[in-house]
Structure 1
Amino acid sequence: NHTVLYWKSMGIDYSKMLVGITGVGRILELVNVSSHLPGSPITPTVEYGPYYNIRLGLAFPEVCVYKAASQYYFDGLQKNPYLIRGHTWIGYEDKQSIEEKIKWFQHLDVAGIMFNGLDEDDFTGSLCNEGKYPLLTHIRAIVQPGIIESSSTTTSPDDDAKIGDDDAKMVSEETKHLISIIISAFVLFILGYGIGQIIIAYRN
């Protein structure tokens, strides 16, 4: 929201803004485990996730790995969840926080919403136990209310990719057909030109 308001103050209308939502959270080390609200003192320790190796960051599938042994909190002011595991503090986006953001962005009437990277979501569905692409699926269900979130009716980015492949195949077939027409026309032109030259030579 801070960034959106900043660009608005710089003269950019909301209707021209494309707002990004990330699947990467922040992993930090608290100075005092009893002081864990956003803005609490942290150490300079640099943490990395177990799979993506992001400096001070965890992709959503990694967050899911940490959840089991962590204490969950939700910051009502910033509308974001965070986890506490010993001195480790993990702030991230989940379905609830994303829904809060999207509703606010829709209220502002921004141009659109984007997700930073497909691999930031649980694309295998094996770590969060919420199916494939749980965050993206939820985002799509919010911005396209007619879509029901169920395995039988919701399409995933994988399905969209298959549709894209089918479209590409269709375009490829059309291209082949067009090329064959061009080649045929060229051959007919050469034959016609050759026959014309023979007739001219014969008359002379």
Structure 2
Amino acid sequence: MLSGTGLIGLLLGVIQMVASSSAQGNSSKNVVCYQGTWSVYRPGLGKFGVEDIDPFLCTHLIYAFLGIDETGQLRVIDAYLDLEDNGGRGNIKSFNALKLKNPVLKTLVAVGGWNEGSKRFSLVASDPLKRAKFVDDVVRFLQRHGFDGLDLDWEYPGQRHSLENADQSNYITFLKELKEGLEPFGFLLTAAVGSAQFSAEISYDIPAMVPYLDLINVMAYDLHGPWDQVVGINAPLYAAESDASDATGRQQQLNVDAIVKYWLQAGAPPEKLIVGVPFYGRTFTLTTAEGNQPGSPHIGRGIAGKYSREPGVLGYNELCELMQQEEWTKKWEPAQQVPYAFRQRQWVGYEDPRSLSLKAQYVMDHDLGGIMVWSLESDDFQGTCGQQSYPLLHEINRVLFGGDTPTGLTPESSKDKPSEGFSCPADAPEGYVRDPDNCSKFYYCSGGTTNNFDCPSGLNFDLNTNRCNYSGSVKC
């Protein structure tokens, strides 16, 4: 296989047309997958690096996270891991090289996250010079490293700090200027956003933000957790029967169905709305072992996973391993359409293939843009629980696409293949060549080596742009 940032940049051009044309029918559903890059430092079978990513199971891969300084400068948080400078591991280069295996994959870098906080975003968004600095830094970073776009993960405008009064309007200005800076280069702009109405209406002017975002990744999880007085499930699809008795109305908002309906009614186009799902559960320590129904009292966070090592959180891979080693009681909550499990005084509300199948079908039934996953390293990526690797992600793809992968491409189809009679001359300049007999096939010539690629179904290779394009737009 070819390597190097130069080829990554060229291959980026091949897929940019596909990147700019999201959402026309089932084939354009999106599966947006975050990787928490710190998972490479996890112990044992939980260690997750770029080499563990299957690039055929997602339409978009998001590298999480970079930071933002109060000056507007983009900040690399783990330079040793991310970059090649000074003997670094070059993780970003390896991440974007996944597009050499799957030429229609899109890669983005996320800036922010919960730990990055809100204040620095607020300070930058309020200052025209700092916004301009950030936009310039982002464009240069994407160009240098071969990403397809930026995912803005400000958690959350108007919340979590004392300088929040103008955040909602400044957020729109921030998005507008980011879009103006990214669009000339064909870069995508997406955002991870808060979900429930009582929170989202503080942070977002939804109709105003829509024109600037290619995808809106709604974080429809962490709807219940140890911060609540009673145990609840992380991401219920529908409301619990008991939610109707809440006089404040907040509990009725804490489910995927209510979240989606709010965002749609507030002005989000369904084709841009991506429903976030968790590949982890929230754990509690019950007050008594007998009080194990949803809504039972608890005394705080439950056990930590042996890989993620955060009390109150269990990745699906950690939980399914525990269930092989220990006797857990598994239950299905029929109103909320999600599972939960308990063992003695430990309790967890989580996702499994059945619940994610229902969420993916909900996306299909409501013509939404797709599913967002937080995050890859919490699926059973090793396949250690007696199933195939990535059982959760495979189930999402099965429902959204009727198959195991979004495009029909597989690892086998991406390998160097015979050039079927065509070969690059030894003195051919480095670059792309279209097959003389088949407009959907193209080659990359480098030093006399012929590397063979196929455009996705319905697309032909456009000699004017060096990209796969709709067949009707290509002179063949």
TM-score, normalization: structure 2?
A: 0.32
8 Å contact 1:61–1:122 — kept in the other structure?
yes
Aligned equivalent of 2:391: 134
Pairing partner for 2:321 from 65, 82, 89: 65
Residue 121, structure 1, aligned to residue 379, structure 2:
yes
Cα distance in 2 for partners of 1:60, 1:67 equals: 10
Secondary structure of 2:276's match?
A: strand
Q: Deviations over 1:175-195 (max 9, x none)?
A: 785899xxxxxxxxxxxxxxx
Aligned equivalent of 1:17: 273
8 Å contact 2:280–2:316 — kept in the other structure?
yes
Structure 1 residue 86: deviation in Å? 0.4
Runs of 5+ consecutive residues of structure 1 not aligned to the other structure: 148-153, 168-172, 181-204
8 Å contact 1:67–1:83 — kept in the other structure?
no
Cα distance in 1 for partners of 2:265, 2:359 equals: 19
Report the CA distance shift for 1:155/1:15 in structure 2 as closer, same or farther (over 3 A).
closer
Aligned equivalent of 1:42: 298
Structure 1 residue 3: deviation in Å? 2.5
TM-score, normalization: structure 1?
A: 0.69
Cα distance in 1 for partners of 2:265, 2:298 equals: 31
Cα distance in 2 for partners of 1:166, 1:35 equals: 58
Letter in 2 for 1:44: G
Instruction: List 4+ stretches of structure 1 deviating above 3 A.
Output: 159-167, 175-180
Structure 1 residue 122: deviation in Å? 0.8
Aligned equivalent of 1:83: 341
Aligned equivalent of 2:431: 174
Cα distance in 1 for partners of 2:339, 2:350 equals: 6
Pairing partner for 1:110 from 364, 368, 387: 368
Cα distance in 2 for partners of 1:111, 1:155 equals: 16
Letter in 2 for 1:142: V
Structure 1 residue 75: deviation in Å? 0.3
Matched positions, count:
165
Runs of 5+ consecutive residues of structure 2 not aligned to the other structure: 1-255, 418-429, 433-443, 449-476
Secondary structure of 1:28's match?
A: strand
Q: Deviations over 1:131-188 (max 9, x none)?
A: 211111111111122x3xxxxxx569xx857766869xxxxx63785899xxxxxxxx
**Larger Rg, first or second structure (1 or 2):** 1
Cα distance in 1 for partners of 2:414, 2:278 equals: 24
Cα distance in 2 for partners of 1:82, 1:160 equals: 34
Q: Pick the structure with more strand per residue.
A: 2
Identity of aligned residues (%): 29
Cα distance in 2 for partners of 1:90, 1:133 equals: 21
Letter in 2 for 1:35: G
Structure 1 residue 80: deviation in Å? 0.7
Q: Pick the structure with more helix per residue.
A: 1
Report the CA distance shift for 1:40/1:144 in structure 2 as closer, same or farther (over 3 A).
same
Letter in 1 for 2:386: N
Aligned equivalent of 1:94: 352
Structure 1 residue 48: deviation in Å? 1.3
Cα distance in 2 for partners of 1:163, 1:114 equals: 25
Cα distance in 2 for partners of 1:30, 1:42 equals: 4
Cα distance in 2 for partners of 1:54, 1:104 equals: 31
The one of the two structures with greater contact order (alpha-carbon pairs below 8 A, sep at least 6) is 1
Structure 1 residue 25: deviation in Å? 0.9
Letter in 2 for 1:115: V
